[in-house]
Structure 1
Amino acid sequence: MCLRGTAAKLSSGSLGDLAGTEMRRRPMQWKRYGTVAVILSVLLGGAYVFWLDSQTAELPAGIVRSNGRIEAERIDVATKLPGRIAEVRVSEGQWVEAGSLVAHMDTAEIDAQLRQAKAAVAQAEQQKLQTEALLNQRLSEQEFAQAEFARAEQLAARGHAPQELVDQRKSALTTADAGVAAARAGIDLATATIASADATVERLQSIRADADLVAPHDGRVQYILAKAGEVVGAGGRVVTLTDLTDIYMTIFLPARDAGLLAIGSEARIVLDPIPEYVIPATVTFVASTAQFTPKSVETADERDQLMFRVKLTIPEDLLKAYQEQAKAGVAGVGYVRTDDTAPWPDVLSVKLPQ
């Protein structure tokens, strides 16, 4: 019994030692794996930095570089009048063409007002018809009154009718003339009423048309800012589009380089995700004021620290050719020539995906 107990104790102790040793080994193995991962990350990062440095080292005099990010003009599709959104017909990432329906506002109230305005036009037109008929009646009465007055005058001249009858016929003629004038004024009023009602219809039709939110330009839907059923105020943004025909990279250059740039000069863009390709661009903007200004600029060295924003725009025809690949937010490097006679090195020769 003692031997068996001793053996059992030895056996259990040995197993415990083995388990403890194994548990101690596992953290050490994980530490080794972590160390290897860190070393690989450092090596890859160093390789990328070395590649960038090698690109910079190959740049001849007259060519400078700066980090930047691809940007695109944004177009906000907003509602002109306050109201409830009835439907949003696009989704994020969808390509839309100019004039295509993006969203639709609730138009129940406007439609009711439009029907009322059209009814007012019809009513004014009927009033005009009635006034024209009344004018014909008044003209007939005027003609009869003129004849009666002429007869009364002839009879009075021959002594066959009293002067009182002449005065009565003259009064009747005057009344008939006034009736004709009133009828003609009624026609003018009816015509003006029709014009006013037509203007109201046109105004409401314009408001009704504004309820259909359409894309003002070709672009890709970047954000949907409001959903169906939400109530937005006047000028409330519903959808944001990205104008992929106006894509550019913004870089910042020191004063000594920015001052030598010419608007319209050639540039090159290399994007981080596709460093094997070189995209042509054009310098389309150089800021007139510095974006980064030190506290004092009394010396030449301090003036060299002034950084100016430069815009490198990608050609529109190139963007159309790569419409599906074009997107904003991609980081990269922009290259510009401070000397137009400086040749582009082979590494910056234009190279585009096939």
Structure 2
Amino acid sequence: MRKLAYLLFVAALAAGGWWAWRQQEAAALPDYIATSNGRLEMNRIDVATLYPGRIRAVHVNEGDEVAKDAVLVELASDQSAGQLAAARAATEGAEDTVQRAQAGIKQAKQTVARAEAEIAAYRQQQKVAKLELDNARQMRRDNLISASEYSKREADYQRAVASVKAAEAARAEAQAAVAQVEAQAKEAAAGVRRAKATADTAAAADADMTVRSPLAARVEYRLVEPGNVVGAGSRVISLLDPGDISMNLFLPNAAMAPLQTGDEARIVLDGINAVFPATISYIASDAQFTPKAVETPNEREKLMYKIKLKIPPDTAKRYNRLLKGGMTGNGYVRTDRSQPWPITLNTHLPPQ
């Protein structure tokens, strides 16, 4: 019993000494410096799947550093693979249809060309037959040829005229065939575009079965294991952005009023001999009850304003192995920007 009482006394004495030291430290600061305790927070990114499937492989472990676009998780889906195969087959079929249509266009145009050549030849024959008929008509008037000879010349001319008309009809039919086949070719080309669009969509869906890191980050939680079946939008990996580190402070109205976003700030972490630069990235518009973890010099100050101090991304990334979410410390801001920082709060970074 005495031992327990002694331990409680020592603990109370240590807590009192620590509190007195913190109050003395705060009192030593200029009156234009406001401070509050807080914890480091790292921005968390929950990486999720776009489509349902079975987890084929997980390529990272908790605590791993991953690069941007690094493969985190692979999913397997028979439906996705089947859709991609079907889309590619449809594309190949549509391309074959286009090739056949183009061959049909070529053949139809050749038929038109032959018909035009025949028309030219038959017109020449018609011209000759017309001359011979005119000559025979004159000779018949002069009784230089018989009636049967004249009838023969007239029949030759009529055959020539009929041949020209038949060739012109064949050309019109061939031209109609060309127009029809060209329309079929256009429809086939549109089918190719539709099939390729479907194939691209299926390929994108299949590629999305591989989950990649959206940024260079640290793995916080591995939420799935191989063999798990997940739905669309299921979280699979939780990442921490090493370039997005901040600390929330809670200050009374008097200290908060002069502050603006973008103002300089400082962060001092427990157990680290360093002063990290920071800026005010957020100031709450409404007061809230003081969280229990926040120490206030005046117990009557129940309502406080939340502000967020953010360490510059390049500094945060440089010390990404040192800075961790949950580390405790103090944040400092100047209520008068025209005043210099105290020497003890000049930026001082730890050795790397």
Same fold at TM > 0.5: yes
Q: 1:9 is matched with which residue?
A: none
- The alignment partner of 2:350 has SS state of coil
Q: Tell me how far apart the structure 2 counterparts of residues 147 and 218 of structure 1 sit (CA, whole Å).
A: 72
Counterpart-to-counterpart distance in 2, 1:348 and 1:132: 79
- What does 1:82-97 align with in structure 2 at a 5 Å threshold? 82-97=52-67
Q: Is the contact between residue 273 and residue 350 of structure 2 (CA under 8 Å) also seen in structure 1?
A: no
Q: Is the Cα contact below 8 Å between 1:256 and 1:304 reproduced in 2?
A: no
Secondary structure at the counterpart of residue 262 of structure 2: coil
SS at match of 1:263: coil
TM-superposed deviation, 1:164? 6.1
Deviation at 1:220, TM superposition (A): 0.8
Structure 1 unaligned blocks of 5 or more: 1-30, 294-302
Report whether the alignment pairs 1:330 with 2:327: yes
Question: Would you say 1:45 and 2:43 are equivalent positions?
Answer: no
2:95 aligned partner: 125
The alignment partner of 1:131 has SS state of helix
Q: Which of 298, 313, 316 pairs up with 1:316?
A: 313
Instruction: Find the aligned partners of 1:166 and 1:90 in 2 and give their Cα distance.
Output: 81
Whether contact under 8 Å (2:33, 2:335) holds in the other structure is yes
Query: How far has the Cα of 1:45 moved from its partner?
Result: 1.7
The one-letter code sitting in structure 1 at the alignment partner of 2:334 is R
Matched residue SS, 2:233: coil
Match of 1:68, SS?
strand
> Does the 8 A contact of 1:268 with 1:279 survive in 2?
yes
Q: Percent identity between the aligned chains?
A: 39
CA–CA distance in structure 2, aligned partners of residues 263 and 191 of structure 1 = 57
SS, match of residue 264 in structure 1: coil
Residue 170 of structure 1, CA deviation: 4.1
Cα deviation for residue 117 of structure 1 reads: 2.1
- Assess if the C-alpha contact under 8 Å between 2:119 and 2:168 holds in 1: yes
Q: Aligned partners of 2:7 and 2:32: how far apart in 1? A: 41
From 189, 197, 204, give the equivalent of 2:202: 204
For residues 63 and 111 of structure 1, what CA distance do their matches in structure 2 show?
A: 62
C-alpha separation between the residues in 1 aligned to 2:280 and 2:221?
29
Aligned length: 314
> What are the ranges of 5 or more consecutive residues in structure 2 without an aligned counterpart?
134-153, 291-299
Matching residue of 2:79 = 109
Cα offset, 1:342, TM superposition: 3.7
Query: How far apart, in 1, do the equivalents of 2:4 and 2:348 lie?
Result: 39
1:17-64 CA distances to partner (integer Å, 9 max, x unpaired)?
xxxxxxxxxxxxxx2332232222222222221221121121221111
Please tell me whether the aligned partners of residues 261 and 282 of structure 2 are also in contact (alpha carbons under 8 angstroms): yes
Query: Which structure has the higher relative contact order (CA within 8 Å, separation 6+)?
Result: 2
Q: Is the 8 A contact 1:96 1:218 kept in 2?
A: yes
**What secondary structure, in the 3-state scheme, does the structure 2 residue paired with 1:245 have?**
strand
**Structure 2 Cα separation of the partners of residues 245 and 346 of structure 1:** 27
CA drift of 1:119 comes to 2.4
TM-score under structure 1 length normalisation:
0.79
Distance 2:339 2:31 in 1: 7
State the distance in 2 between where 1:140 and 1:129 align. 17
